[in-house]
Each structure stands twice: as structure tokens, then as C-alpha cells.
Amino acid sequence: MQSAEFNSYYNSYTQFLAKKRILREAVDSLTVGFFLGSFKPPHVGHYNAVKAGMEQTDVMHVVISPGFRGMTPEEQKVYFNLKNTRRRWAKQGKPTRGKDEEVKEMESKMISPMQSKLVWDEYTKALNRGDKKLNIHLVDVTEFRDPVSQTESLVKGYASQPNAENTYIKLFIGKDDLVKGDVRNDPIKSIEGLGGIEEVPAIRSHSATDARAAIVDGDQDAFNKSQPDHPAVDKNYIWDILYDSVTY
């Protein structure tokens, strides 16, 4: 025969076990995304890629390449001569492919990393929401060689945190680079201690070349088509950032 005290304890414990419970993970996981590039200039394709990336991650980082030195007066002369030659060949019906590539290469030097960051800062007004914030990094050339080396440092920071095995890294890259393999990300992918590091395709829906051409031509209407349509994004402000009469 059981004591009254035992029976009371037994009944209480039985009722406790009968209650419904929700099983929860002991430690919440964290997914962190990185989007790297020179962004010359940032445009709606980049914006949409990061917007989609933020839907897949808890924290999102954009890392801007330092690859910029501007154009010397001599290079500016070469640039305008190239454009004139290309225009003349086009009128004569000659192929301009070679000149097109040279012009694109020189025009890519016209957008500085600081200009890109200012545009991304404008984008964050539309992309930030609630406790989800977009982190913009301008590579410090005195510390890092390129966006990959700075991203490697940031990822190592996550790997050194407690419960790093519950942190998952996503590197958003272009589909072409994903198919052929981008060895530049190998140092990042070799970092240990995290739950996982993977490369995932980034949405691309616009051409930076078209945006640069509109800036060079002083065509703000054409340039505006390269920018996201969002009330928080001031296209006139972005145009003022990028359209520099001295540079162009």
C-alpha cells in the first residue's frame, strides 16, 4: 500500500507528463549573407539581388571593392578619342566590338567606391526593415587587398563566436561564376568552425554598362531606369552622387 504522500506526488508528476509540449532547439541558428562587387554603379539588379538575399538570411552584408584609381588627363583624352573612333566606325558600318570593350573598360574607372557606398546607403532606406539591417562595407585598402579578403575577415569573426557551429554563411554570386566555379572564394569556403558555407546564385536583372553609358551621356531619364522604383530611394540624389562634371 502506497503512502498518501507518494500518491500525491505520483498524480502530480503524471499530470505534468500529460501536458503538451513544444520542442525547441537549444540554440537558434543564424544565416549570414554576403554580396561582393565593385558596383560601378549600383543598380536595380544589385538592389533586387540583395533584397532577395535578405529574405534568405538573418544578416546581410554588401562588400564594395576598392578597385578604383580614376582617370588621368591623358586617359581622358584616350577615352574621348576611343568614343569618337567608335562613333565614326558605327556610321561607316564597321564592327565596333573591340572599341566597345575598350570604352567599357575605361568607363568602369569612373565610379569610385565612395560613390558606390553612398548609393548603397540610399538603398538601405528601402531595404532595412524591423531588426533586419543591411550592412555596407567599403574595403579599406590599408587593411585588405580586395572584397574577398575583407569578407574572409568578417566570416572568421562569425567563426570565432560562441555556437559558431550554428552559423551558416551564404555567398551570393552570379550564376555564370557559380556554374564555372569562382576560385576567388576558396579562402572563405575553407574557414572552419561554422555550420556551413555555400555559394548561391544572385539575381541579376540589369547592366551596369547601360547605367554608366547613361551617366556619360548625361541622360538622367535613361539612368533612372537603372535604379529601383521605391519611394525611399531618391533617384535625383543618386544622379547627383554619380554625375560629376569634372570626372565625366
How far apart CA 246 and CA 58 sit, in angstroms, is 41
How far apart CA 135 and CA 94 sit, in angstroms, is 46
How far apart CA 238 and CA 41 sit, in angstroms, is 10
Q: Rounded to an integer, what is the distance from CA 186 to the centroid of its chain?
A: 18
- Tell me whether residue 14 is in a domain: no
- Tell me whether residue 157 is in a domain: yes
121 shares its domain with 92: no
- Tell me whether residue 244 is in a domain: no
Q: What is the DSSP letter of 200?
A: E
Q: Which residues constitute the domain of residue 39?
A: 30-68+111-207
154 shares its domain with 96: no
Stated pTM of the model:
0.75
Radius of gyration of the chain (CA): 26
How far apart CA 233 and CA 14 sit, in angstroms, is 60
Provide the angle, in degrees to the nearest 10, between the axes of the packed helices 113-127 and 44-56: 50
DSSP-assigned letters across all residues of 64-108: E--------HHHHHHHHHHHHHHHHHHHTT---HHHHHHHHHHHG
Tens-level pLDDT at each residue, the chain (248 residues): 556 665 676 566 566 556 654 444 445 899 999 999 989 899 999 999 999 999 999 999 999 987 655 556 666 677 677 778 878 888 888 887 777 777 666 666 678 889 999 999 999 999 998 888 899 999 988 888 889 999 999 999 999 999 999 999 999 998 777 777 778 889 999 999 999 999 999 877 788 888 888 887 889 999 999 999 999 999 999 999 998 644 43
**How many structural domains is the chain composed of?**
2
Residue (of 187, 181, 183) closest to 169 by Cα position: 187
